[in-house]
């Protein structure tokens, strides 16, 4: 990986001497933020590290992992050791599962650092509220990322649907858990979300693109007999206008994978495919520029820093919590990896 020198503030000062007495000072101030990445697992290696590396506003300055490290970057095995040893690092990005996230995020906020949270932002709704309050009290930023919202087709979909009457919505999120989560035991334990780990990505898109709010009315959750989290979920939503809105999440899909959202409107049909990367209206694909979701996450965080704003939207998380609250439990075959 490319290692950039770390400097907290890079400042370019250009001085233009105009003819006569007038002197124009042109000052460009570009801050570069050191980032500590916590959890060096699949998503850290696949996405966070390359995206931080590609972004001029951030530099990977330290990692926290009990088992892994990145060449050329100082690693710590405990967050407290990193926070104590590297007080100059202002941004802590958490790429760990939701279960252990709260304690680590709290440590970072109490040490007066800004915090980026992977999705889902926590194991419970209330703990994220506490993080929000703590961030406000400490004057630090909290960014609950929803990477799928940065898929290239999502913003065009939101714009196209904004003024349209929605007639029907169906989400199909079918993938092979053995292919995408090999060896990840945490997804099957309480607080691991099971099929909602990818399903919440679909819900993050849904809650971004629909012009109305929706709420869950019924759910069926299939739990393998040896797991604490579901392998499949079927959800029904209502919007107060009797619009049929359904979602089908399944982790047992072999062969082609399906991450699709179909929206029928009074003026035509919209389809998002490939997790929101592609969009078609009435069967015609729109030509949209490719976009790396994680590049867009770090660009967005640079904007939040510039505006001194946090960004925590819990809408997708609430639907998952509601599904666990009102969902009918169905036991299914034991999961064997």
Active-site option among 42, 110, 119, 140: 119
2, 122, 323, 337 from 301: Cα distances, Å: 21, 19, 30, 36
Residue 161 host element (H or E):
helix 154-161
CB of 102 to ligand NAP, least distance (A): 11
Per-residue binder mask for ligand NAP (CB under 6 A), 57-86, x = binder: --------xxxx------------------
The rounded radius of gyration (Å) of the Cα atoms in the chain is: 22
Cβ atoms within 10 Å, residue 102: 20
d(CA 58, CA 181): 28
- 199 contacts ligand NAP (rule: CB under 6 A): no
Among 155, 175, 197, 208, binds ligand NAP (CB under 6 A): 197
41, 115, 126, 154, 337 from 183: Cα distances, Å: 11, 27, 29, 31, 8
CB of 150 to ligand NAP, least distance (A): 11
Is residue 119 part of the annotated active site? The answer reads yes
CB of 210 to ligand NAP, least distance (A): 22
Segment near ligand NAP (CB under 6 A); pick from 14-22, 35-43, 54-62, 323-331: 35-43
CB-facing half-sphere around the CA of 29: CA atoms within 13 A: 4
Candidates 84, 53, 88, 83; CA nearest to 71 is: 53
- 40 contacts ligand NAP (rule: CB under 6 A): yes
Among 4, 42, 86, 138, binds ligand NAP (CB under 6 A): 42
CB of 48 to ligand NAP, least distance (A): 9
Closer to ligand NAP by CB, 98 or 316: give it: 98
d(CA 11, CA 9): 6
3 state DSSP class of 38: strand
Closer to ligand NAP by CB, 160 or 188: give it: 188
Prior bond of 117 cis (ω within 30°): no
Closer to ligand NAP by CB, 119 or 149: give it: 119
Per-residue binder mask for ligand NAP (CB under 6 A), 116-155, x = binder: --xx---------------------------x--------
Closer to ligand NAP by CB, 175 or 264: give it: 175
Closer to ligand NAP by CB, 95 or 108: give it: 95
CB of 136 to ligand NAP, least distance (A): 24
Cβ(331)–Cβ(168) below 8 Å: no
Residue numbers annotated as active site: 119
């Amino acid at each position: 990986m490319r290692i950039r020198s770390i400097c907290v503030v890079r400042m370019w000062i250009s001085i233009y001497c105009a003819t006569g007495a007038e002197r124009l000072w042109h000052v460009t101030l570009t801050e570069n933020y050191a980032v500590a990445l916590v959890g060096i697992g699949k998503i850290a290696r696949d996405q966070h590290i390359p995206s931080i590396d590609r972004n001029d506003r951030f530099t990977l300055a330290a990692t926290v992992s009990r088992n892994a490290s990145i060449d050329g970057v100082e690693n710590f095995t405990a967050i407290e050791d990193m926070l104590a040893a590297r007080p100059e690092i202002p941004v802590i990005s958490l790429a760990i599962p939701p279960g252990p996230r709260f304690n680590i995020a709290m440590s970072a906020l109490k040490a007066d650092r800004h915090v980026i949270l992977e999705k889902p932002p926590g194991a419970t709704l209330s703990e994220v509220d506490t993080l929000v309050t703590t961030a406000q009290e400490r004057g630090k930023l909290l960014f609950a990322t929803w990477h799928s919202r940065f898929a290239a087709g999502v913003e065009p979909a939101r714009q196209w649907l904004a003024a349209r009457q929605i007639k029907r919505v169906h989400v199909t999120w079918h993938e092979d858990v053995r292919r995408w989560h090999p060896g990840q035991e945490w997804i099957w334990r309480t607080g691991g979300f099971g099929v909602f780990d990818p399903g919440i990505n679909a819900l993050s898109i849904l809650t971004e693109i629909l012009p109305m709010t929706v709420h869950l009315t019924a759910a069926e959750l299939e739990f393998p007999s040896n797991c604490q989290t579901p392998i499949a979920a079927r959800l029904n939503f209502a919007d107060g206008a009797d619009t049929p809105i359904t979602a089908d999440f399944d982790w047992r899909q072999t062969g082609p994978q399906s991450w699709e959202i179909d929206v029928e409107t009074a003026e035509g049909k919209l389809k998002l495919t490939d997790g929101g990367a592609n969009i078609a209206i009435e069967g015609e694909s729109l030509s949209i520029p490719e976009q790396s979701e994680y590049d867009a996450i770090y660009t967005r965080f640079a904007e939040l820093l510039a505006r001194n704003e946090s960004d925590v939207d819990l809408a997708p998380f609430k639907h998952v919590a509601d599904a666990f609250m009102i969902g009918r439990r169905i036991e299914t075959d034991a999961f064997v990896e």
